[in-house]
């Protein structure tokens, strides 16, 4: 991570992999693996919808800015026994610090640039046959990181952006904030409050798929590690009340632990570790092992946060304006699918509630389903500049891999029908999320029915 890697000091990571702590760990848990072994600072692991491992690499000579570049985006494809040799993504990188925040969907992602056009900016990028193209800047009122360390993650549904930065209303050093998506803009970042944030550093946040559990790294607690990973739960529906953070029971290794991240597609998690405080990060992953929070929270290093002298007052943050996916059964009865399509705003999603498939199949169920797709095809034909994403979802019952395949196949089936109905192929992007993005509980039949859905998202 930018700032944790010290230029001019390289830790002998490869030697460390062969002897010492890792050797003992391998004997204890064979599922602990290193993603790869670069002699550079590797942070912020993320698995994309294409199943590639994306991450940040600092001070590599192949970065856009050469060996002085504090962070470019790289990726590595997954193989049977791990990951292939990583490669830089020049389209997403600049000579300054760059950070992949997350995927809005399979062909659209957000990237933070520390110094693009002499500003701190977040841009949307679109995948094309030729590579990644820069799209619109994401407007975030009051967004400014004044510290040395910035990190951020999108929530699994893309509705929230969780940020770590030293900014307005901070209790000291880096705090964790939330910003809500509003089309191609975002709400002013809201500090998550003193339950989490302290006068020390809160870094590398990751929000669970259900939006209820936050993982982050901090040096604010008495612990064997000066910087470790903690877990906290949301209390109620707001964003400022959280349970007392508890240390996560990660494999015991020397050095810092940061960037805890759960793979949405299989049972494993990632995190980064440094051997010493001056060391570079390496990305590890652990399969078939769920880390637990230790039963007792560690004491803070000091009694509560020490607020800066005369800090700026936290702004009044509006409730997120981005609407949740529309439920047609709850919409105004006077509005049919055509009216709702015409009123859809950029970035908003619409559940095709009347679209039904045969069980475990891509076959369309009835005439009402065909009518929905006919009207959607007509809408796209009337609006040739519109681009949508068609996203398939299932509940979490059965094989996760089969659910992902079925949801993608259904999205592709919808695209085929829309193209046959007069829409252009280029107007439709598809993705299948399986059961990774529920909108209701999976513990009841009614909830599982809601989760089995097809959504469209208006991209352009």
pLDDT tens, N- to C-terminus, the chain (460 residues): 444 433 333 333 333 333 344 443 443 444 788 887 677 889 999 999 999 999 999 999 999 999 999 999 999 999 887 899 999 999 999 999 999 999 998 889 999 999 998 899 999 999 988 899 999 999 999 898 988 899 999 999 899 999 999 988 888 789 999 999 987 789 999 999 999 999 889 999 999 999 999 999 998 887 767 789 999 999 988 999 999 999 998 888 888 899 999 999 888 999 998 864 456 888 999 987 778 777 655 566 554 333 444 443 333 333 333 334 444 344 343 347 888 888 888 878 888 887 888 777 888 877 888 888 999 999 999 999 989 889 888 888 777 777 888 888 888 889 999 999 999 998 998 888 888 888 888 778 888 888 888 988 888 8
The C-alpha angle with vertex 272 and arms to 267 and 274, in degrees rounded to 5, equals 150
- 263, 206 contact by CB (below 8 A): no
Beta strands, E only, 160-292: 160-165, 175-182, 185-186, 190-191, 202-207, 213-218, 228-233, 246-247, 257-262, 268-273, 282-287
- 39, 51 contact by CB (below 8 A): no
Strand partners, 43: 56
Bin 274: left if φ > 0, else alpha if -120 < ψ < 50, else beta: beta
CATH superfamily for domain 13-287: Glycosyl hydrolase domain; family 43 (2.115.10.20)
Q: How do 246-247 and 257-262 pair as beta strands?
A: unpaired
Strand partners, 87: 75
- 370, 352 contact by CB (below 8 A): no
Neighbours of 117 (CB within 10 A): 9
What phi and psi, each to the nearest 5 degrees, are found at residue 97? -80, 130
Q: Is 303 helix (H, G, I), strand (E, B) or coil?
A: coil
- 58, 2 contact by CB (below 8 A): yes
Rounded CA separation 372/341 (Å):
11
- 110, 162 contact by CB (below 8 A): no
Residue 389 tokens read as: 């994403």
Residue 216 tokens read as: 């982050």
Rounded CA separation 281/286 (Å):
16
Residue ranges of the chain that CATH labels 2.115.10.20: 13-287
C-alpha closest to that of 406 among 450, 447, 357: 357
Rounded CA separation 60/162 (Å):
27
Residue ranges of the chain that CATH labels 3.30.1330.60: 337-458
Per-residue pLDDT at 295: 66
Rounded CA separation 209/261 (Å):
11
For the domain made up of 337-458, the CATH class stated in words is: alpha beta
Sheet holding 428-432, edge to edge: 349-351, 453-458, 388-393, 428-432
Per-residue pLDDT at 279: 60
């Amino acid at each position: 991570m930018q700032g944790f890697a010290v230029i001019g000091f390289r830790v002998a990571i490869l030697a460390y992999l062969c002897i010492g702590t890792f050797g003992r760990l391998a004997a204890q848990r064979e599922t602990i693996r290193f993603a790869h072994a670069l002699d550079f600072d590797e942070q912020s692991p993320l698995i994309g919808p294409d199943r590639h491992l994306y991450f940040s690499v600092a001070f590599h000579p192949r970065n856009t800015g050469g060996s002085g570049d504090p962070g470019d985006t790289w990726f590595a494809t997954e193989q049977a026994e791990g990951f292939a040799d990583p490669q830089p993504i020049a389209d997403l990188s600049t000579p300054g610090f760059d950070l992949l925040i997350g995927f809005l969907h399979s062909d659209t992602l957000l990237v933070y640039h520390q110094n693009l056009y002499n500003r701190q900016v977040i841009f949307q990028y679109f995948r094309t046959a030729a590579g990644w193209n820069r799209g619109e800047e994401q407007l975030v009122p009051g967004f400014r990181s004044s510290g040395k360390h910035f990190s951020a993650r999108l929530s699994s549904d893309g509705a929230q952006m969780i940020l770590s930065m030293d900014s307005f209303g901070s209790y000291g050093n880096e705090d964790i904030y939330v910003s809500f998506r509003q089309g191609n803009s975002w709400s002013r970042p809201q500090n998550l409050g003193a339950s989490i944030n302290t006068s020390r550093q809160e870094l590398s946040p990751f929000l669970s798929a259900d939006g209820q559990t936050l993982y982050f790294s901090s040096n604010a607690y008495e612990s064997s590690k000066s910087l470790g990973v903690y877990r906290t739960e949301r209390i109620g529906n707001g964003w400022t009340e959280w349970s007392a953070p508890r240390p996560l029971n990660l494999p015991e290794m020397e050095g810092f632990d940061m960037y805890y991240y759960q793979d949405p597609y299989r049972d494993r998690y990632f995190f980064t570790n440094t051997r010493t405080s001056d060391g570079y990060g390496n990305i590890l992953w652990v399969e078939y092992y769920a880390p637990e929070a230790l039963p007792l929270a560690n004491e803070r290093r000091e009694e509560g946060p020490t607020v800066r002298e005369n800090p700026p007052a936290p702004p009044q943050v509006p409730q997120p304006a981005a609407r949740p996916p529309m439920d047609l059964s709850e919409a105004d009865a006077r509005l049919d699918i055509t009216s709702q399509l015409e009123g859809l705003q950029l970035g908003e999603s619409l559940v095709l509630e009347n679209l039904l498939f045969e069980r475990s199949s891509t076959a369309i169920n009835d005439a009402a389903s065909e009518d929905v797709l006919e009207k959607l095809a007509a809408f796209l034909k009337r609006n040739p500049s519109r681009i949508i994403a068609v996203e398939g979802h299932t509940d979490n019952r059965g094989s996760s891999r089969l659910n992902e395949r079925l949801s993608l196949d259904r999205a592709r089936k919808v695209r085929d029908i829309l193209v046959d109905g007069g829409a252009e192929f280029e107007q439709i992007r598809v993705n299948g999320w399986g059961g990774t993005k529920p909108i209701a509980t999976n513990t009841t039949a009614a909830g599982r029915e809601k989760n089995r859905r097809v959504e469209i998202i208006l991209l352009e």
